Chains A and B, each alone.
Chain A
Amino acid sequence: MEKPLTGHIKAEGIPLNIREYEVAGGYTGVQTVLKKMQPMDVINLIKDAGLLGRGGAGFPTGLKWSFVPTGSDVPRPVYLLCNADEMEPGSFKDRFLLEGNPHQLIAGMICAAYAIQAEKAYIFLRWAYKKAETILRKAIAEAYAEGYLGKNILGSDFSLDIYVHTSAGRYICGEETALINSLEGKRAIPRAKPPFPTTSGLFGKPTVINNVETLCWISHIIENGADWFKNLGLNGEGGTKLYGVSGRVKKPGIYELPMGTVMREILEKHAGGMTDGYNLRAVIPGGASTEFVMEKQLDVKMDFVSLKAVGSRMGTATMTVLDDKTCPVAFLHNIERFFAQESCGWCTPCREGLPRVEKMLLAIEEGNGKEEYLESLKFHTTYCGPGNTFCAHAPGAMEPLQSGLEYFHDDFMRHINEKHCPWRSND
C-alpha cells in the first residue's frame, strides 16, 4: 500500500534531513515546477488532481489558488500561509508530518508559492509544538543553504522566504482569518468573508492559507501527476489520508490509508480494536467539532462525501472513540468547556451561548440538571449554528452536542432523574 506522505518517515522519530529527503526523491517537484511549469499549470494540475483541503473543510485546493488575482497590478507581496496551528482536540496528524519530514512541507510550500506567485510564506505553528519548531527552523536553514529558498531559487526568477511564527496559543488562531489577524499582531478574531483572504488577506494583501497535510501533497502530485493522485483514493476523492485514532483502542495513532477507507477497518484492523473490557459506543470522526458516528454506522467510508451522508463531517479525520465506561455527558461537557473557553468573544451567540451550554452540561453531569436544560441545549445547537454566528467556531462546537443530545438522550435523562452521574460512584 502506497504511503506517499508518511512512507519515508523514520520509525525512531528523527526527521529526514535534506540529504535523506533528496535521496528519497524530494525537491524534484520543486525542480519541475520552477524549470518546466507556468504558475497556471501548477494550479491546473492541482485542480485536476482534485486535492481537497486537509484542514477539515475539504475545500478544493487548486480552486482556492485560482482565486488569487494575477497580473501586473496585483498588490504585492502575495503571501502563502501554512496553517500548522493544530489545536483541534484529538488531532495530531500535522505534528507527525512536521516532526517526521519537514522538507516535504517546505518543498510543497515552494511549489504552492510558485503557483500563486507568493514571495513570502509563513508557517503558523501551534505554540506547544516546540519540537516541530526546532525541526522546522533547522530544515528551513538547510533549504536556504541548498538554494531552495531565498532569492532566485535554483537560478529561476522566483524568490521565496519562509518564516516560522509560533502562535500564542488560541484555538481560534486555526481559523484562517483569525490566524491572519494573529499573525499581524492583532486580536485573534476571525474576519468577515467576503472579502476572502485571496483578495485581502495578510496585511491586506492576497493570501492563501493551506493546511500542513495539504501542502505536503503538492510536490508529490507534481512528481507523479493528477491521475496517480486520483487513483490513490478508493471512493472518488483522491490521495491517501492521515487517519488518527485516539481513545481506548489497542493501537492509537496515525495511519496513512487510502482516502475512503471504511471506518470500521481503520478502528478494528489498524488500531487493533477496543482495549479489552471496553466496548465502543460512538466515534467523533474528525476532531471535537464533528458529529458522533454511532457503532451501527461504523461501515461508513472515511471521506468528505460519505461522512456527510451519515450526518457528520470528516474534519481532520482524527477519530476519538467514546467507550461504554466513559460518561457521554462528561465527554460532551469536556468538549464544550474547551469551545467556550476558546471563543474569541466577538459575536454574541458564541460568546454567550457556549458558556451557557457548558454550564448546563456541567449542572447535568453533577446531578443538578433540569429537564428544561435539554430543550435549551437543543435550542442552542441551532441558535449557535451556521449563519447565525460570525465564524464556524460555535457551529463546530454544536456538532457533537447536537448528535450527542439525540444519541445519548437516555443517558442525559438518567443524570437528571437520578440526580447524579451514573458513571461515578454515588458518594
Chain B
Amino acid sequence: MKNIVPGGRMIKIEINGKYYEVKAEKNLLEVSLSLGINIPHFCYHAALGSVGACRLCAVKKYRNASDTKGRLIMSCMEPVTEGLILRTEESDVIKFRAAVLESLMINHPHDCPVCDEGGECHLQDMTVMTGHNYRSYNFKKRTYTNQNLGPFIHHEMNRCIQCYRCVRFYKEYAGGKDFDVFASHDHVYFGRHEDGILDSEFSGNLVEVCPTGVFTDKTLKSHFTRKWDLTNAPSVCVHCSVGCNTIAGERYGILRRIMSRYNGSVNGYFLCDRGRFGYEFVNHENRLKKVKIRLSKNENPVVAENDQLQVSLNSALSDNKRIIGIGSPRASLEANYALMNLVGTENFYHGISKSDYELTKTALHILQNGPAHSPSLKEIENADVVFILGEDLTQTAPMIALAVRQAARNIPLQAGEKTGIPRWHDAAQRDRTQDIKSPIFVANPYQTKLDELSREPYHASINEIAKLGFAVAAQINDNATSVKDVDTRQYMLASEIAVALKNAKNPVIISGIHCGNKEMLHAAANIAFALEALQIKSSLCLVVPESNSMGLGMIGGKSLEDAYRRIEQGEADTLVILENDLYRRAEKEIVDEVFQKCKHVIVLDHLMNDTASKADILIPVGSFAESEGTIVSNEGRAQRYYKVFPSEKSVPESWRMIGEMIKIVRDQIDHPWKNFDQVAKEMGDDIPEFSVIHQKMPGNGFRILNEKITRQPLRFSGRTANSAHIAVNEPKLPQDHDSPLAFSMEGSNEVPPSSLVPFYWTPGWNSAQSINFYLDEPNGSMKGGDPGIRLIEANKNAKVSFFEPDITDIEQKPGEFWIIPVYRIFGSEELSSKAKAVAERIPEPYVLMNEKDIAGSDKNENGSANINISGKEIFVKIKIDPDIPLGIAGLTVNLPGMPFLNLPCSGKIKFASGNSNNQKPGRP
C-alpha cells in the first residue's frame, strides 16, 4: 500500500553530479535518504519532521549552475527547488560536520563498552561517518544526575547529545505530560521534573528515538545482549488486536527484547509499551517445559516419562468419539485450524463466550459485507475527522490512539501547507497550529486520555452513546433510522459531528467490542454507511480484544457455552484446550464443574494458569517466539510471525503437537503435515478466505539466490564457542523446515521481502536508523510494499442497508450500580501481565465512580468499596471520575487475581470503612 502523499509534484535536482527527479514537498535530507545517499543527522526523525537543532546534516547548496559560491545549509530545513545542485561531500561541509560531532562528544562519557546502545548507536555511526577522531578538548566534562524512570526505561543523561528527539516524541508526538527539557545553554536536561515512572503508554519508543544511550531498554538490561549477538525473527505483537510488527531477539534460549519492525501501513516506527515490554512472559519461570500427566483424578499431575504421553493420549483419544476442541483468539489461525482438523468442524468450539463471539461476528459482518473501508493504522493517521464511540483506545488498542493523535494534526497541517509551511517543517507547523486540531470526537462513559483532543468529550452510558451514534447517522442520511428519545445535547452534538464528517475527506469512525454492546457497533456502522451513501469515502475501525480475535471470527465455530452444555449433557467427555485459560472467560464455578465432568482434559499452552492446573494431560507448546503462525489484526490484515529460536524438543509448536494427536485419533503413521506450509495450505483449501495467505506469503521454499534468510547478523559472535563447555566440536545448527529463515548467520545478505526482515542493518548505519534504507522514502512504505495481506475489504457493491436501532434498557436493579468494564493497558491482557516489567505497572483493581455517587456515604476519594455482583464480592479502591454518569461504576477487569465477572451487569457497591481494612484489593 502506497503512502498517501499530497501534491506529488516532481522536481529535477542534481546531487553530487547525478540528476534525480524528486518529490517537491520533501526536504533535501529526506530526498537524499530516499535515494540512499548518506547524510549524517541527529535531530531529524522521519516521523517527527525537521527542527534544525543539531546542525549535523549540513550540505552545500548551489541555487543553480551559475551559482559558483554555494551556501552551507542544513539539508533537513531546506525545501527542494527546481534545478538546485547539492554537494554532500565538499571539504567545508565535511569539516563542519566533524566539528559538530566533536562538539557533541565534548561531554559524552565515551562509555561505549558499558553502554547498552553500543553496537547499534546512532551516535557511534555518526562519529564514524563524519570522521571525527581526535579529541582536543581538555576541560572538565559536565555531568548530570540520572533519574529512575520506572521499570521500562533506563536513564543515563551524561550520554545525551541534546538532539531534542525524546521530548519531541514524548510530548509532541505522543502527548505525554510528564517529560520535558529543563534548564538551558550547555546544561539542558531531558527527563521528568523528578524521579518517577514515565506515564506515557509509548515511553518505550524513547529507546529507539534516542540516538545514543540516554534512554535504553531496562528489560533488555536485565539480560543484556549486543545487537550483533541476537538471533532475530520478524514477528507480530500478540498483546492486542492491532497487529504491530515487531523484531524479537533471542540469545541462549532467552527472549531478550522487542523492537519495532517497520510497517508503513501499520505501526510505522513505533510500538506501545505493552507490545515492547510484554515479551518477558516467554521467559517466565512458570513456562511449561515438560509434559505433565495426572495418573488418576485425585492425584497431582507428574512429569511424563518416556512414552507416557503417547500412552495417555492413546487412551484419551483413540476410539473416542466424544472429544471436543476449544480454540483460542490468542492462538494462530494454523493452530486453531489444526485443532478443528483433530476434532472435526462440528466439535470445534472457538473458545470465547457466545456474547463475545456475537460481537466479533457483528464487527466482521459489518466490515466484510458493508461498504465501509477497514482502515490501516496509517489511514487512521491520515484521517481529518475522527469519531470514537465507546472504546478507550489508549488502553485497548494503544497504537490506534497514537494514530488518532496524529490525525488531530491533519487539518492544521494542511492549512499550514497552504500558507507555504511544508509538512516536514515541524516546529513552524506546531508554532502556527498552536492548539488547533482536526475535529476529533470522543464518546465514552468515563474520561479517556484522548478526551484532550476531543471537541467536546461526551460522557454517558453505553446506550446513550449508541443513541448519539444513531442520531449522527440519521443526520447524515435520512434513510438511517434515528432513535426516538434523543435529548437536546445529543441532538446538538450529533449535528456538529454529522457536519464535520460530511465535510471530511478522510473521515474515520472508531468503535469496538470492549464495551460489550452490539448496538454500538451498529451505530458506528450506520454512520460509516450513511457517509458512503453520500459517496464520501469513509473508514470504520472496529477494535477487538485479542491478537487473533478477527481470525478466530473468520474461522467460526461454536461458543464456550455450547461446549459446556454438551459436556453437561454427557455428549462429550474429553476436552482439548488450545492456548486458552477458560477461567478468564466464565465464572469459576461453571468452569470447575465442566472440568469435574470431563474424563480427560488435555491442555496445550505456554504458561501455567488456572486451566492448565486442571489438565489431566498438560502439554507445553511454543509461544509466538518458538513457533510460526498467522494472525489477523482488527484491520483484517493477516500477518505471520516466525520462530525466533527453536524450542526445546519437549515444547513443540501447537500445530505440530495437534498433528501428533491426529496420528493417534486416525491411527495413522504419518504426521498430517510435513511442515508449517502444509498446514497453511490445507487451511486455505478448507477455508477459502485464507487461501490467499498461503498463496502470497513466502513459503518455506523461498530462497534468495538459493540461500535462506539469516536470523543472525554477520557479526554474530562466538557461535562455535557457545557450547564449548559441553563439546569442543561445533554442534549441528538447528534447521528450520517451516520458513525461509535460517538459525544462522550464513545465508543471503540481500534485503529480504518486507515481511521477512529479521533485523535492520545497512552499511554505516548500525542503529535503528538503518530502517530508513529499507523504505521507499522516510516514513513511507517498505520497499516492495508493506507486510501483511488484507483479508477484509469493503463490499463496494453492497446496497447500503442500515441497522435498525434496537437499544434495550439495561437491567439495573434498584439500589444497585450498573457496572461496566474498564480495561487497562497494563494488566488486562493475559500474557503481557506475566512479564516482570509490565507486572510492576499493573494498577490495583479499582472502581471508577462519580463523586456524587459516593458523596452520600461519607467516604473520601481514597476510600474503597466492596462490589457485590450476584453474590460474588470483591474489594477494590475507589477512583473518582468526575464525568462518569451517576449510577454507573467502571470496574477494572482481567487484572491478575481478579475473578471473572460477566460485565456489564448490575451490582451492589458497599463502601468500606476507610483504610482500616487490610484486605488486598481485587480479592474476594
Binding site for B on A (CB under 8 A): 170, 180-181, 187, 191-192, 194-195, 199-200, 203-204, 340-349, 351-356, 359, 363, 372, 376, 379, 383, 387-390
Is B162 touching A390 in the complex (CB atoms < 8 A)?
no
Closest to B42 in A: A348
- Is the Cβ of A349 less than 8 Å from the Cβ of B420? no
Contacts known (A195-B421, A195-B432, A349-B55); A359 close to B139, Cβ less than 8 A: yes
B144 contacts the other chain (CB 8 A): no
How distant is the Cα of A390 from the Cα of B73 in the complex, in angstroms? Answer: 11
**Is the pair A349, B432 in contact by a Cβ cutoff of 8 Å?**
no
Taken together as a complex, chains A and B put the C-alpha atoms of A409 and B181 apart, in Å, by 40
Looking at A192, A356, A388, the one whose CB has the most chain B CB atoms below 10 A away is A192
Tell me the chain B residues, 45-59 only, with Cβ under 8 Å from chain A.
Answer: 51-56, 58
B185 touches A379 (CB 8 A): no
* Chain A residues whose CB sits within 8 angstroms of the CB of B184 once the complex forms: 170, 187, 343-345
Check B54–A347 contact: CB distance below 8 A.
yes
Cross-chain contact of B55 among A341, A347, A376 (Cβ < 8 A)? A347
Instruction: List B residues at the A interface (Cβ < 8 Å).
Output: 51-56, 58, 71-73, 77, 96, 99-100, 103-104, 106-107, 136-137, 139, 162, 164, 181, 183-188, 419-421, 425, 427-428, 431-434, 436
The smallest C-beta distance from B474 to any residue of chain A, in angstroms, reads 34
Report 12 cross-chain contacts, Cβ distance below 8 Å, ordered by A residue.
Answer: A191-B431, A192-B52, A192-B425, A195-B425, A200-B428, A345-B188, A348-B162, A351-B103, A355-B186, A356-B103, A356-B106, A390-B53
- In the assembly, what is the distance between CA of A354 and CA of B136, in Å? 15
CB distance from B178 to the nearest CB of A (A): 17
A422–B406 Cα distance when bound, in Å, is: 62
The reply to whether A199 and B106 form a contact with Cβ atoms under 8 Å apart is no
Contact A348–B136 (Cβ < 8 Å) = no
Asked if B186 contacts A352 (CB within 8 A), the reply is yes
Q: What residues of B have a CB within 8 angstroms of the CB of A343 in the complex? A: 184-186
Pair B427/A387 contact, Cβ less than 8 Å:
no
A376 contact set on B, CB distance < 8 A: 136
The CA of A97 and the CA of B297, in the complex, are separated in Å by: 98
Q: Cβ of B425: which chain A residues have Cβ within 8 Å of it?
A: 192, 195
Per the bound structure, the CA–CA distance linking A379 and B103 in Å amounts to 12
Across the interface, which residues of A come within 8 angstroms of B104, CB to CB?
Answer: 348, 352
CB distance from A352 to the nearest CB of B (A): 4
Q: Nearest chain-A residue to B140 (Cβ)? A: A359
Query: What residues of chain A lie closer than 8 Å to B56, measured between beta carbons?
Result: 348
Nearest CB in chain A: distance from B70 CB, A: 11
Q: How far is the CA of A199 from the CA of B184 in the complex (A)?
A: 28
Q: Is the CB of A353 within 8 A of B181?
A: no
Quick one: given A192-B77, A349-B55, are A355 and B431 in contact (CB under 8 Å)? no
Closest chain B residue to A360, Cβ basis: B139
Which of B71, B103, B427 is the most central at the interface, judged by chain A CB atoms within 10 Å of its CB?
Answer: B103
Please, which residue of chain A has its CB at the minimum distance from the CB of B54? A348
Chain B, residue nearest A346 (CB): B53
B187 contacts which of A345, A346, A388 (Cβ < 8 Å)? A345
Indicate the member of A181, A192, A204, A388 with the most B CB atoms within 10 Å.
Answer: A204
What is the distance, in angstroms, from B212's C-beta to the closest C-beta of chain A? 14
Residues of B close to A340: CB separation below 8 A: 185-186
Q: Which residues of A contact B51 (CB under 8 A)?
A: 192
A76 CB to closest chain B CB (Å) equals 14
CA distance A195 to B432 in the complex (A): 9
State the Cβ distance, A188 to closest chain B Cβ, in Å: 8
B181 contact from A187, A203, A355, A359, Cβ within 8 A: A187
Please give, as numbers and ranges, the residues of chain A lying within 8 Å of B428 by CB-CB distance.
191-192, 194-195, 200
Give A224 to B346 CA distance when docked, in angstroms. 99
Inter-subunit contact B136/A388 (CB<8 Å): no
A389 to B58, CA, bound (A): 11
| Those 8 A-B pairs whose CB atoms lie nearest each other, nearest first | A352-B103, A204-B432, A345-B188, A200-B432, A343-B185, A359-B139, A355-B186, A345-B184
Complex Cα gap A199–B419 (Å): 8
CA–CA, A199 to B432, complex, Å?
9
B55–A389 CB distance below 8 A: yes
Q: Tell me the complex Cα distance, A192–B52, Å.
A: 8
B188: chain A residues at CB < 8 Å are 345, 351
B184 closest partner in A (C-beta): A345
Known: A347-B52, A388-B72. 12 other contacts (CB 8 A): A192-B425, A204-B432, A340-B185, A346-B53, A348-B54, A348-B100, A351-B103, A356-B106, A356-B139, A363-B139, A388-B55, A390-B53
Measured between beta carbons, the chain A residues less than 8 angstroms from B54 are 347-348
- Residues of B close to A356: CB separation below 8 A: 103, 106, 137, 139
A204 to B71, CA, bound (A): 29
Task: Give the chain A neighbours of B77 by CB distance below 8 A.
Answer: 192
Contact in complex: B181, A195 (CB < 8 Å):
no
Closest residue to B104 on the A side, CB-wise? A348
Residues of A within 8 A of B433 (CB): 204
CB within 8 Å for A348 and B431 given contacts A390-B53, A390-B55: no
Residue numbers in B under 8 Å from A170 (CB-CB): 184
**B107 — which chain A residues lie within 8 A by C-beta?**
352
Tell me how far the C-beta of A291 lies from the nearest C-beta in chain B, rounded to whole angstroms: 21
Query: Whole-angstrom distance between the alpha carbons of A199 and B417 in the complex?
Result: 12
Q: Give CA–CA (A249, B137) in the complex, Å.
A: 39
> What CA separation (Å) do A194 and B72 show in the bound complex?
17
Q: How far is the CA of A301 from the CA of B74 in the complex (A)?
A: 37
Q: Which residues of A contact B420 (CB under 8 A)?
A: 194-195, 199
- Distance of A320 from chain B, by nearest CB (Å): 23
Complexed CA–CA distance, A343 and B162 (Å)? 13
Q: Are B419 and A344 in contact (CB under 8 A)?
A: no
Give the docked Cα–Cα distance between A379 and B96 (Å).
10
A191 lies within 8 A of B162 (CB): no
- Chain B residues within an 8 Å CB radius of A191: 427-428, 431
Decide: B96 and A347 in contact? CB cutoff 8 A: no
A200/B52 contact (C-beta < 8 A), A191-B431, A351-B188 known:
no
Residues of B within 8 A of A192 (CB): 51-52, 77, 425, 427-428
CB pair A204–B434 under 8 Å, yes or no, is yes
Q: Are B96 and A383 in contact (CB under 8 A)?
A: yes
List the A side residues contacting B427 at CB < 8 Å: 191-192
Identify the closest chain B residue to A199 (Cβ).
Answer: B419
State in angstroms the CA–CA spacing of A199 and B421 once bound together. 10
> How many whole Å from B278's CB to the nearest CB in chain A?
35
Which residue from chain B places its CB closest to the CB of A181 in the assembled complex?
B431
- Chain A residues whose C-beta falls within 8 Å of the C-beta of B431 in the assembled complex: 180-181, 191, 200, 204
Asked if A372 contacts B100 (CB within 8 A), the reply is: no
Bound complex: CA of A408 vs CA of B184, how far in Å? 31
Kindly report which residue of chain B lies nearest to residue A351, judged by CB atoms. Answer: B186
Q: Which residues of chain A are near B71, meaning CB under 8 Å?
A: 387
Chain A positions within 8 Å of B434 at CB level: 203-204
Residue of A nearest to B77 (CB): A192
Q: How far is the CB of B656 from chain A (nearest CB, A)?
A: 55
* Interchain CB contact under 8 A, B53 and A200: no
A398, chain B: closest CB distance, angstroms: 14
Which residue of A342, A348, A355, A359 contacts B53 across the interface (Cβ within 8 Å)? A348
Tell me the smallest distance from the CB of A83 to a CB of chain B, in Å: 18
Complex Cα gap A276–B439 (Å): 72
Q: Which residues of chain B come closer than 8 Å to A203, judged between CB atoms?
A: 434
Measured in the bound complex, the distance between the Cα atoms of B432 and A363 in whole Å is 44
CB-CB under 8 A from B187, the residues of chain A are 345
What residues of chain B lie closer than 8 Å to A194, measured between beta carbons? 420-421, 428
Alpha-carbon distance between A84 and B162 when the two chains are bound, in angstroms: 30
Contacts of A344 in B (CB 8 A): 184-185
A203 to B58, CA, bound (A): 30
Residues of A within 8 A of B419 (CB): 195, 199-200
Q: How far is the CA of A204 from the CA of B421 in the complex (A)?
A: 12
How far apart are B421's CB and chain A's nearest CB, in angstroms?
5
In the complex, what residues of B have CB within 8 A of residue A180's CB? 431
With both chains docked as a complex, state the minimum distance between the C-beta of A356 and any C-beta of chain B, in angstroms.
7
A residues less than 8 Å from B106 (CB atoms): 352, 356
Min CB–CB distance B76 → chain A (angstroms): 10
| A354–B186 alpha-carbon span in the complex (Å) | 9
B100 close to A349 (CB less than 8 A): yes
